[in-house]
Amino acid sequence: MLIDSPHWIIIIILLPILGSVVCFLWREHIVKLALATAVGTVTSVGVLSWQVITNGVQRYELGAWSAPLGIELYLDGLSLLMLLVTAIVGFAISIYASAYFKDDKTNIFWPLWLFLWSALNALFVSSDIFNLFVTLEIIGLSAVALVALSGGANAITAAMRYLLVSLLGSMLYLMGVALLYHSYGTVDMVLLSLRTEMTPTMWLIMGLMTTGLLLKTALFPLHFWLPPAHSSAPVPVSAVLSALVVKASFYILWRLWIVVFPLADHAQANLGFILGLLGSLAIVWGGFQALRQTRLKLLIAYSTVMQIGYLFLAFPLANVMGWKATLYFILAHAVAKTAMFMAAGNILIHRGHDRIADFYSMAQYLPLTISAFALSGISLMGLPPSGGFIAKWLLLEASIVSGQWWWGLVLIVGGLLTGAYVFKVLGYAFIQEDSSNEPYPIGISKRMEWMALGMALLAIVLGFIAPFILRIMDIGSPFAEVLS
């Protein structure tokens, strides 16, 4: 039967890349074609989810070449949730972008974005560390081109810096791949996990790969390139970068850390502690920087720097619950940050600027957008009932269970800082003052307002469907290796 076919896993990669090429060649109907591709991709991911939820882990050998020679695609609960959040965010962004881009930029945006989507899907189903390098490079190159799309000195220099950082990160990672292949004779993660052991070379490999991927994930203090790139990109691109692209390199690091690196208990604790500490610094530093910003898009970009910090708090804990919390942070942040950038985009179009101090009467003009901003802020703060709350709750529980309660303090400080910068924006938006009395000429499409609100509501809904999502996380028990 069609729905049981094993080929859906390859369709989610091929369909967007095909759509990208078609959009590039046939520009008359580009938006319709691109949206059709988006619908097709989301449907394929839906079918694939149904397969995984009913039948468990999916494997696919490309061209029927089996590992170690061939490339094997592998899909467990962790990959599936990453694919699902990519599909949901990707779909919302496609709808938003169809109203956002008006000029000739449309013709450039769609091929690049579908290309990026295809690479993200490919990354989340790859279990081959070299194939991961290739997908990571495709993501990096298309993301850089998308940042440059908005033009102007800021965006171009930000894109340039992003490209250099991204290439350095990939090269460090590739050196690690070379050494791993040399030492253990395979690039398949599962086979590697059986063979790796703690040798001096392994320390070098871990150092190279971790540094490269941290650079791409923008963990403090390697975050310097992120705020300019994420804030100067066009709004739909900013949303994709913050919601999905930084998570892609994090995902690789995370998988390596759980599966490939042979971390004995004490090494895990010490190295994990360093990552947890950097994560905590990212939370505090990112939070303060966000609070200091006078422009909304920069504020949201620093908020991403901060939220990346949360993803690293589970590394010193290294228990299943901590990893689940991390995954929940990824999901909640992806959805909430998309909503927040969309809200910022609506404000930017409405006012023609994003100076927070001049946001007076915004709540009257754009009630849906301001509600979206507030709701996504609730999830970022981690107030119940929201996706962010579940993530923080799980992490708090994990830190208490493993006797490292101090990571809980970081969560509280982070929540307060987030509250401060969200309310700073809301405070200005509710000021009643319209001295100029001139009407704002540029209307925004209702679609853009509703998309922002829809994503913000989804960030809240994530707080209610936690049992369902936690059940998906257990498929193929991606975090089980940690227990041994």
Partner 1 sequence: MTPAFLYALVGIVLFSIGLYGLILYKHLLRKILAINILGSGVFLVMVALADRIGDAVPDAVPHAMVITGIVVAVSATALALALMLRVNEETGQAVLPEDREA
Binding residues (CB under 8 A) for partner 1: these are: 69, 130, 133-134, 137, 140-141, 144-145, 148, 152-153, 156-157, 159-161, 163-164, 167-168, 170-171, 174-175, 177-179, 181-182, 185, 187
Residues β-bridged to residue 128: 188
Q: Which is nearer to partner 1, 144 or 246 (CB)?
A: 144
We find the least distance from the C-beta atom of residue 137 to partner 1, in angstroms, to be 5
Q: Which is nearer to partner 1, 171 or 413 (CB)?
A: 171
Q: Which is nearer to partner 1, 173 or 389 (CB)?
A: 173
Q: Which is nearer to partner 1, 179 or 470 (CB)?
A: 179
Structure-token pair, residue 443: 């209307």
* Residues 352/107, Cβ–Cβ less than 8 Å: no
We find the least distance from the C-beta atom of residue 130 to partner 1, in angstroms, to be 6
Q: Which is nearer to partner 1, 188 or 449 (CB)?
A: 188
We find the least distance from the C-beta atom of residue 211 to partner 1, in angstroms, to be 11
Taking the C-alpha atoms of residue 90 and residue 320, their distance in angstroms, rounded to an integer, is: 28
We find the least distance from the C-beta atom of residue 414 to partner 1, in angstroms, to be 28
We find the least distance from the C-beta atom of residue 237 to partner 1, in angstroms, to be 15
Q: Which residues lie below 8 Å from residue 28, measured CB to CB, with a gap of 6+?
A: none
Alpha helices, H only, 26-151: 30-55, 77-100, 105-125, 129-148
Residues β-bridged to residue 126: 73
We find the least distance from the C-beta atom of residue 250 to partner 1, in angstroms, to be 21
CA 51 to chain centre: 24
Q: Which is nearer to partner 1, 71 or 458 (CB)?
A: 71
Structure-token pair, residue 76: 């467990």
Residue 286's CB is within 10 A of a number of other CB atoms, namely 29
Q: Which is nearer to partner 1, 183 or 445 (CB)?
A: 183
Sign, Cα dihedral of 66, 46, 386, 465: negative
Are β-strands 72-75 and 58-61 bridged in parallel, bridged antiparallel, or unpaired? antiparallel
Q: Which amino acid is at 457?
A: L
Taking the C-alpha atoms of residue 178 and residue 24, their distance in angstroms, rounded to an integer, is: 35
Q: Which is nearer to partner 1, 140 or 476 (CB)?
A: 140
We find the least distance from the C-beta atom of residue 131 to partner 1, in angstroms, to be 9
Taking the C-alpha atoms of residue 371 and residue 426, their distance in angstroms, rounded to an integer, is: 10
Structure-token pair, residue 156: 């171009």
We find the least distance from the C-beta atom of residue 107 to partner 1, in angstroms, to be 17
Give DSSP secondary structure letters for 58-79.
EEEEGGGPPTTTS-EEEE-HHH
We find the least distance from the C-beta atom of residue 127 to partner 1, in angstroms, to be 16
Q: Which is nearer to partner 1, 174 or 448 (CB)?
A: 174
Numbers of helices and strands, H then E, in the chain:
20, 2
* Residues 89/239, Cβ–Cβ less than 8 Å: yes
We find the least distance from the C-beta atom of residue 170 to partner 1, in angstroms, to be 8
Q: Which amino acid is at 420?
A: A
Q: Which residues lie below 8 Å from residue 144, measured CB to CB, with a gap of 6+?
A: 159, 162, 163, 166
Q: Which is nearer to partner 1, 162 or 257 (CB)?
A: 162
